[in-house]
Amino acid sequence: MLAIGVDIGGTKIAAGVVDEDGEIIATTTRTTPATDAALIEAAVADAVAELRAGHEVVGVGVGAAGFVGADRRTVNFAANLAWRQHPLAEELEKLTGLPVVVENDANAAGWAEYRFGAATTARHMLMVTVGTGLGGAIVLDGQLVRGSAGFAGEIAHITAVPDGQWCGCGRRGCLEQYTAGTALVRTARRRASAGDARMSPLLQVAGGDRKQIDGPMITRLAQQGDPGAIELIAEIGRWLGMGMASISTLLDPEVIVVGGGVAAAGDLLLGPAREAYAAHLTARNHRPLAPFLPASMGNRAGIVGAADLAR
């Protein structure tokens, strides 16, 4: 059986036909008209029509960046897209004539890693995506954990520092503010502005303008061996490890899969994360330590996971 997976991001809609082994056999993309819900649905429907013209599919899975209800049909809220208590599945079913399942985008990516990627040998998985923001997905005993309202797995907004850095959610001290790409860039720019000599190579690459420093630039310099950039990524890694230790105390995952753009730094991020995790995990001398594994599905994860959940 074939299914279509759709990954709706803030700027791009990526869709693909996916088989039962998690292989994408056809793809297409559209631009996301982020401020108009009807135009988003029209773009998705157009992509689906293109893909199903050459393939017989049983349904559509949509990975959406937002708070998806437990019914897997409604997007209750999306910070960067025009959805508020929006019946996305119903609207897409009208346009496509196919059954539609909606899932949080991080859950879809996590499910892909569990079914076809880095965590295929595990029954209990914690997935964390370290990109511009921080995403999470939880699989326990082979089941994707959604919670009573569908909002489980939002690890970004666990409090890491009481009364700490302001977060876009309106609260202070959320883990995302210390672990994601925004924190990486904010720290680099602050230190460059303060005249920190270790930020000089970054500032030079940025043309002398600290506002031009971004995450990929920091990762690239770190991979080239720049001490200041390595230090910045290691700090993010330590926060990640501490956060995962707290979550592991509650969930006891078998593996922790790490994806997202910042994860491209590899062991420069995961090494400090593993050390901090081991140092902060409760009863660490009397329990197995969950390995930190790099995600293996890359940009395919959202499409593959959404399609598999629909099937």
Indicate which CATH number applies to the domain containing 242. Answer: 3.30.420.40
For residue 72, is it within any domain?
Answer: yes
For residue 116, is it within any domain?
Answer: no
Helix, strand, coil percentages in the chain from 3-state DSSP, rounded to 5: 45, 25, 35
pLDDT value at residue 133: 86
Together in a domain, 148 and 261: yes
Q: Token pair of 100, please?
A: 């539609």
For residue 129, is it within any domain?
Answer: yes
Give the whole-angstrom CA distance, residue 139 versus residue 172. 28
For residue 285, is it within any domain?
Answer: yes
pLDDT value at residue 132: 82
Together in a domain, 155 and 14: no
Which residue range forms the structural domain that includes residue 36?
2-111+300-310
pLDDT value at residue 305: 97
For residue 275, is it within any domain?
Answer: yes
For residue 118, is it within any domain?
Answer: no
Q: How far is CA 236 from CA 130, 212, 262, 264, in A?
A: 9, 20, 9, 13
pLDDT value at residue 11: 82
Nearest residue to 240 via CA among 141, 136, 145: 136
pTM of this structure: 0.91
CA 51 to chain centre: 25
Say if residues 134 and 180 touch (Cβ distance below 8 Å). yes
Q: DSSP 3-state assignment of 238?
A: helix
For residue 194, is it within any domain?
Answer: yes
pLDDT value at residue 16: 98
Number of domains in the chain: 2
For residue 39, is it within any domain?
Answer: yes
Give mean pLDDT in consecutive 10-residue pieces for the chain, a chain of 311 residues.
93 94 96 89 96 95 91 86 89 97 94 97 95 91 93 91 89 94 94 94 93 94 96 97 95 95 92 96 90 94 96 91
Together in a domain, 283 and 305: no
